[in-house]
Structure 1
Amino acid sequence: MSTSPASPPQHSLPRSAYLGGLSIAVGGAVLFSTKAIVAKLLYRYHIDAVTLIAFRMLFSLPVFAAVALWKMRTEAPLAAGDRWRIAGLGLVGYYLSSFLDFLGLQYISVGLERLILFLTPTFVLFITTVFLKQHISRKQWLALAASYCGIVLVFVHDLRGGASNVALGSLLVLGSASAYAVYLLGSGELVKRIGSLRLVAYAMCVSTLACLAQFFLLRPAALLIQPLPVYGLSLLNGIFCTVMPVFMTMTAVARIGAATASQAGMIGPVSTLFLGALILGEPITNWQLAGTALVLAGIYMLSKK
Structure 2
Amino acid sequence: MLKRPSEIGVGVLLAILGVVLFSAKAVMVKLAYTYQVDHLTLLLFRMVFALPFYLVIVMVTKPEPGQKLRPKDYLWLFLFGFLGYYLASLFDFMGLKYIKAGLERIILFIYPTIVVLLSWLFFKKRLTSNQFMAILITYLGVLITFWDEIGVSTEGVYWGGFLIFLSAFTYAAYLVGSGWLIPKFGVLRFTSYAMIVSTLCILIHYSLVLDFDLFDYPKEVYYLGSAMALFSTLLPSFMVSGAIKRLGASTFSIFGSLGPVSTIILAFFFLNERITYVQIFGMYIVIAGVTLVSRKKTTT
TM, length-normalised to structure 2: 0.94
Please name the residue that 1:208 is paired with: 199
Q: Which amino acid aligns with 2:90?
A: F
Q: Measure the CA separation in 1 of the matches of 2:68 and 2:212.
A: 35
Q: What residue in structure 2 maps to residue 170 of structure 1?
A: 161
Alignment-derived partner of residue 189 in structure 2: 198
Q: 2:146 corresponds to which residue?
A: 155
Preserved CA contact (<8 Å) 1:107 1:163: no
How many angstroms does 1:138 deviate by? 1.6
| Counterpart in the other structure of 2:44 | 54
Identity %: 38
Deviations 1:120-179 (A, max 9, x none): 011111111112222322211221111111101110111000241111001101111110
Deviation at 1:193, TM superposition (A): 1.8
> Which residue of the partner structure matches residue 239 of structure 1?
230
Mapped to 2, the partners of 1:254 and 1:73 lie a distance apart of 19
Task: State the secondary structure of the residue aligned to 2:127.
Answer: coil
Q: CA deviation at 1:301?
A: 0.7
Aligned to 2:56: 66
Where structure 1 has 5 or more consecutive residues not aligned to the other structure, the ranges are 1-7
C-alpha separation in 2, matches of 1:98 and 1:215: 14
- Closer, same or farther in 2 for the Cα pair 1:166/1:252, shift >3 Å? same
Task: Quote the Cα distance in structure 1 between the aligned partners of 2:64 and 2:55.
Answer: 14
1:4 is aligned to: none
The alpha-carbon deviation at position 77 of structure 1 amounts to: 7.8
Preserved CA contact (<8 Å) 2:145 2:278: yes
Matches within 5 A, 1:106-145: 106-145=97-136
Partner of 1:281: 272
- Asked if the contact 1:259/1:303 (under 8 Å) is kept, the reply is yes
Distance in 2 (CA, whole Å) between partners of 1:129 and 1:74 is 30
TM-score (norm: length of structure 1): 0.93
TM-fit CA distance, 1:73: 8.5
Out of 8, 18, 28, which is 2:18 matched to?
A: 28
Residue 35 of structure 2 is matched in structure 1 by 45
Shift of 1:72: 5.7
Q: State the Cα RMSD in Å.
A: 1.5
Looking at structure 1, the residues matched to 75 and 242 of structure 2 have their Cα atoms a distance apart, in angstroms, of: 27
Query: Does the aligned pair in 2 maintain the 1:91–1:210 contact within 8 Å?
Result: yes
- In the alignment, the residues of structure 2 paired with residue 117 and residue 71 of structure 1 have an alpha-carbon distance, to the nearest angstrom, of 31
C-alpha separation in 1, matches of 2:235 and 2:270: 21
